[in-house]
Amino acid sequence: MNKSFIFPCLLLTLFITSCASLTTGQDQVISVETPNCPNATCRISNNEGTYYVNRTPGTITINKSGSNLNVVCGIPGENIDEAIFQQSNVEGLTWGNILIGGIIGAAVDFGTGAAYEYPSLITHPLDCRGDITNNKFIENKSKTKFQRLEELKNLFQNGLISEESYQQRQKEILRD
């Protein structure tokens, strides 16, 4: 093969694999889990938008940004929620683009958000194990015992309370 053909092909290959906007794009898939509070809902936001995980663990696609990711998880209808922040980092491919593609390539990557990345897995520290057994809807005396027992059973079946808590609260409801 002709050397004049090989060199431009190698240079083109190096340029394409170094450009974050071409190789990784402007969006990113992120998984969110709340191991101490399964089935929580989460609101994730950055300066590019707001995204929702309806039930943890869950996966969403977000637009990348240089801003921090605000992650608020909680139990719907309850006063149990907690916020954390995930920092945006410069993706490694961006540095190759600065070296190979120069200012124009870097400007494209930073301008579109392709230069940034968030952790692909966010483990949120929300812990509702102790709070959920004291929920106001289980204590609500305006509901029948049957309704309160059904709600308690749903909490247990969805993994929100332990078997020990389930049995203890069940006894308390039946005593009332």
Whether 47 contacts 67, CB under 8 Å: yes
Which helix H or strand E contains 72, and what residues bound it? strand 69-74
Q: What is the pLDDT of residue 71?
A: 92
Q: How confident is the model at residue 31 (pLDDT cuts 50, 70, 90)?
A: very high
Q: Residues 105-130: pLDDT tens digits? A: 666 666 666 778 889 999 999 887 76
Average pLDDT, integer, range 15-22: 45
Question: For the chain, what are the domain ranges?
Answer: 3-123, 133-175
Q: Residues 71-80: pLDDT tens digits? A: 999 887 666 6
> What is the Rg, in whole angstroms, of the alpha carbon atoms belonging to the chain?
24
Q: Is the model's pLDDT at 100 over the cut of 70?
A: no
- Per-chain mean pLDDT for the chain: 75
Whether 82 contacts 70, CB under 8 Å: no
> Structure tokens of 46?
């950055």
Among residues 77, 74, 70, 72, which one has the least CA distance to residue 40? 74
Higher pLDDT, 134 or 63: 63
Q: What is the pLDDT of residue 60?
A: 96
Q: What is the pLDDT of residue 45?
A: 92
Provide DSSP, 137-165: HHH-TTS-HHHHHHHHHHHHHTTSS-HHH
Cα 145 from chain centre: 37
Q: Minimum mean pLDDT among 19-33, 89-103, 107-121: which range?
A: 89-103
> Structure tokens of 133?
């057994």
The model's pTM is: 0.58
For 141, list phi and psi in degrees, rounded to 5: -75, -10
Q: Is the model's pLDDT at 54 over the cut of 70?
A: yes
Residues 6+ apart with CB under 8 A from 79: none
* Percentage of the chain lying above the pLDDT 70 cut: 60
Which helix H or strand E contains 62, and what residues bound it? strand 58-63
Q: What is the pLDDT of residue 165?
A: 74
